[in-house]
Each structure stands twice: as structure tokens, then as C-alpha cells.
Amino acid sequence: MNKDILKTIIKLIIVSFMVGWLLSFFDITPVDFWTSLVAFLSGLFETLAGFAGDALIYVIIGGAIVVPLYVLSRIMKRRQHPPDKTPRGSTESD
């Protein structure tokens, strides 16, 4: 057997022993652990989804003000400084 595989198996046995001891110490079964983890992640997802929904509404409301102001500022800036008619990469001495 490959030495790396043997080392990995030994590490997995040691970590499994320590986790098993901790779970037994706190009187938690593997089913309890996974059920609690799924419930936690589900609640976290619901919270984040609610926040994302609210955030999307704020982005839309803010965008109704910010985007037109941005477009207007770009138009005003272009009127003050018209674009250069020289093609990119060439010099005026050509």
C-alpha cells in the first residue's frame, strides 16, 4: 500500500476518534449533528434570501435616481470635452 494512503487512513482514524469522543461527551448523535446543521443552513439561507430581496428593492429604487444622474453627468462632461477625432494608436504627425 502507498505510504501516503496509509498516512491518510491513520489521520482519518485519529480525527474520527476525537470527533466521536467529543460527540459522545456532548451527547450528540451523528443524526442530531446533521439535522442541526441542515436546520442552521436552512435558516441562514432564508435570512440571506430575505435580505437579498430587500437589497434588490433598494438597488432598484436607488438606481432610479443614480442612473439618470450618471447619464446626465456623462452627457455634460462630453459637451465640455468633445472626444478626440484622432484614431487610437496613431499620432498627429502621421
The rounded distance, in Å, linking the Cα atoms of 62 and 56 is 10
* Residues 3-53 pLDDT 10s: 899 999 999 999 999 999 999 999 999 999 999 999 999 999 999 888 888
DSSP-H helix ranges across the chain: 3-25, 30-80
Is the four-CA dihedral 35, 40, 44, 46 of positive or negative sign?
A: positive
pTM of the model: 0.51
The rounded distance, in Å, linking the Cα atoms of 11 and 3 is 12
Q: Where are the domains of the chain?
A: 3-80
* Residues 56-90 pLDDT 10s: 899 999 999 999 999 999 999 888 877 677 666 66
